[in-house]
Amino acid sequence: MSKGRILVVDDNRNVLKALEILLQFEFDHIKTIKNPNLIPSILEKDDYDLVILDMNFAAGVNTGNEGLYWLEQILSIDSPISVILITAFGDVELAVNAIKKGATDFILKPWDNHKLLATLFSALKLSQTKRKLSELEQKQKVINEDLTVPHKTIVGHSDSLMRVMRMVRKVAKTDANVLITGENGTGKELIAQELHRLSIRSEKSMVGLDIGSISESLFEDELFGHKKGAFTDAFDDRIGKIETAHGGTLFLDEIGNLSLPLQAKLLSVIENRQVVRVGSNKVRSVDIRLICATNKDLTTLVKEGSFREDLLYRINTIIIEAPPLRDRGEDVLLLANFYLNKFSKKYNKGKITIHERALEDLMQYHWPGNIRELLHTMEKAVILAESKIIQPDDLFLKVSQSINMENPRTLDEMEQVMVRKAVDRNKGNMSAAAEELGITRQTLYNKIRKSNP
């Protein structure tokens, strides 16, 4: 445990000076104040492990009520903190009352230095233990929220998927930052989960945050956490995703949606491996492995000035591109049957199969929504099917709109054929296909989406 930080509150300058001299080599930081009215602002600004609090401040008053009042205020601001009450007027009943209200111990002036230090070290250990337990409870709460998302399986054996999995196995055992790119619905989160599962951090948690699903005003609190009283409704200390992921993996989805000011703060965390909660000045060291994902072309965003180049270099030590479903061949059928079995059990439909013509439609369809679209297609088909065989009409796929790859009829169709053939020739490598066509990867994605409304 660290040597700790201590706040001393007493209206006697000689007492403050004596304690400062005694404790200067025993604690990391000592702050002394005469005015107890400063206590709330000090505790809300900085973190302390111990408070030595005088019982009486008003001249001629020896009841100890002032000390009891400030004891309650301190504990309402920071419940794990240890408070040692100190007074020149010994009163057993007062001491018992103070302990009942939450004081850690009670000492008399003049004090014995050895006994005082022993009391403070014991209180420090108690405070740090309580704080650690509180943080563990907060971490467990965040982890439990992540555990409500069921684990998903990577299904398929296509060449494009196998290339990705070979890369995952190579990279997983390192602590290199990884950027996973690809269209929406291609399974980027599943790849992140596999990276964590195969990593040396697998016994710790992978903590995820979907940046695209939360407002910018909440992002800082979600990522960094906050100190009690940092803002309205901040009734308790809250640990952020970064601290929760300490020792494990932090997964940031939709990293391209992060604003420039928050990009700067994230960059600082990545470079220094330190985090400061909102409303606090205390620096906390963190040990994380960072995995990010995006469906945007971050290089284009850098050129446009909406994404920091230095942050991009920090997060893309390794780039893994999730292939679109249209480039995974018969993985479409494997996934279709996987979801068919899953939803047949979920909706108590018994044994259901897929008609051959429906299988052909599944293979011919271009899947602009990728795996996510296939999942919803199969769930809907299982629910609406009137027999034990999924028919083409049960899929509601507009296969008829697919273009003739051999005989395109319009300029738009010719462009679509060029795009698809370039992607096929480059085996799903969108960057290589875009370079071959002389366009940016984002333009390539836009043309693919245009051809699959």
List of domains in the chain = 5-134 (3.40.50.2300), 159-321 (3.40.50.300), 325-397 (1.10.8.60), 411-451 (1.10.10)
In terms of Cβ atoms closer than 10 Å to its own Cβ (0-12, 13-18, 19+), residue 283 is exposed
Q: What percent of the chain has pLDDT over 70?
A: 89
What residues contact 141, with CB distance under 8 A and at least 6 apart?
Answer: none
Reported as a pLDDT band with limits 50, 70 and 90, residue 2 is low
Task: Taking residues 431-435, report their average pLDDT.
Answer: 83
What residues contact 252, with CB distance under 8 A and at least 6 apart?
Answer: 208, 209, 211, 258, 266, 290, 291, 292, 293
What residues contact 60, with CB distance under 8 A and at least 6 apart?
Answer: none
What is the reported pLDDT for 449?
63
Segments in 39-112 forming alpha helices (H): 39-45, 65-77, 92-100
- Name the least confident of 7-16, 207-216, 335-344: 207-216
Reported as a pLDDT band with limits 50, 70 and 90, residue 140 is low
Task: Taking residues 377-393, report their average pLDDT.
Answer: 92
132-152 exposure pattern, b = at least 16 Cβ within 10 A, e = fewer: eeebeebbeebbeeeeeeeee
Q: Is the pLDDT higher at 138 or at 167? A: 167
Reported as a pLDDT band with limits 50, 70 and 90, residue 150 is low
Q: In one letter, which amino acid is 417? A: V
Q: Quick one: which of 334, 388, 342 has its CA closest to 362?
A: 334
What is the reported pLDDT for 318?
96
Q: Quick one: which of 191, 158, 187 has its CA closest to 427?
A: 158
Q: Is the pLDDT of residue 345 over 90?
A: yes
Q: Is the pLDDT of residue 408 over 70?
A: no
Q: Is the pLDDT higher at 324 or at 149? A: 324
What is the reported pLDDT for 34?
92
Reported as a pLDDT band with limits 50, 70 and 90, residue 80 is confident
Residue 264 neighbours by CB distance under 10 Å: 13
Q: Is the pLDDT of residue 272 over 50?
A: yes
Residue 298: helix, strand or coil by DSSP?
A: helix
Residue 108 corresponds to which tokens in the numbers above? 């008399």
Q: Is the pLDDT of residue 20 over 70?
A: yes
Question: Are 143 and 244 contacting, i.e. CB atoms less than 8 angstroms apart?
Answer: yes
Q: Is the pLDDT of residue 378 over 60?
A: yes
Q: Is the pLDDT of residue 434 over 60?
A: yes
Question: Are 82 and 124 contacting, i.e. CB atoms less than 8 angstroms apart?
Answer: yes
Q: Is the pLDDT of residue 1 over 50?
A: no
What is the rounded CA–CA span in Å between residue 155 and residue 339? 10
What is the rounded CA–CA span in Å between residue 243 and residue 209? 13
Mean pLDDT of the chain: 86
pLDDT tens-place string over residues 151-194:
567 999 999 999 999 999 999 999 999 999 999 999 999 999 99
What is the reported pLDDT for 312?
96
Residue 343 corresponds to which tokens in the numbers above? 């939803």
Reported as a pLDDT band with limits 50, 70 and 90, residue 400 is very low
pTM: 0.67
Q: Is the pLDDT of residue 144 over 60?
A: no
What is the reported pLDDT for 96?
79
Q: Is the pLDDT higher at 149 or at 235? A: 235
Question: Are 86 and 54 contacting, i.e. CB atoms less than 8 angstroms apart?
Answer: yes
